Structure 1
Amino acid sequence: MFADAVYPFDARGVAKRFRHAAIFGALSALQPGETMRFCNDHDPLPLLQQLQGHFGDQIKIAYIARNPGEIVIDFTIVG
């Protein structure tokens, strides 16, 4: 649990019905300055809207890769 730490989260290995709960749980466990590097097989636009609604200005969302079958997004908790 170090500031500026990056923790991988590969959603492709999580059952679809549990994904959102797992993602919200993982993000809630982060401290300010920590990042979850999220990997998925599709662009999770509804999830991004939910995250913005829940975390507001406390989360920074940045695409790292946007390729067919491989979406990588950094979710950083802002202090």
Structure 2
Amino acid sequence: MPHDCSRPSTEADIYAFDARCVAKRFRHAAIFGALSALQPGETMRFCNDHDPIPLLHQIGDHFGDKIKMAYISREPGEIVIDFLVCA
């Protein structure tokens, strides 16, 4: 059976987004595009090599209460944040 990238990689509607694999000049556009594509109840699990504080402020300003953010890991070199789309 072929892989269906339109479905999450886990049963909990969590889509992985590893920013470390995206060229720096495209990261913010790719992240905003991915967040915009999510449906209510879906989560994007974001992985990065640094804590993206300015990006988090931009996401909050752009999406407001539509996106909830929660750190999963804040280890140096391995930042993981869940972005949940609210209804």
Task: Sort the TM-score into its range (normalised by shorter chain).
Answer: over 0.9
- Percent identity over the alignment? 74
Highest RCO, 1 vs 2 (Cα 8 Å, sep ≥ 6): 1
Cα deviation, residue 16, structure 1? 0.3
- Determine if the alignment matches structure 1 residue 74 to structure 2 residue 82: yes
Structure 2: stretches of 5+ with no match in the other structure: 1-6
Aligned to 1:59: 67
Alpha-carbon distance in 1 for matches of 2:63, 2:21: 24
Alpha-carbon distance in 2 for matches of 1:69, 1:31: 29
1:1-79 superposed matches below 5 A = 4-79=12-87
Instruction: Give the paired residue count.
Output: 78
Structure 1: stretches of 5+ with no match in the other structure: none
Q: CA RMSD in A?
A: 1.1
SS of 1:37's equivalent? strand
TM-score (normalizing by structure 2): 0.87
Alpha-carbon distance in 1 for matches of 2:73, 2:83: 13
- AA of the residue aligned to 1:71: I
Point out the structure with max Rg over C-alpha. Answer: 2
Alpha-carbon distance in 1 for matches of 2:43, 2:68: 9
TM-score (normalizing by structure 1): 0.95
- AA of the residue aligned to 2:41: G
Alpha-carbon distance in 2 for matches of 1:76, 1:24: 13
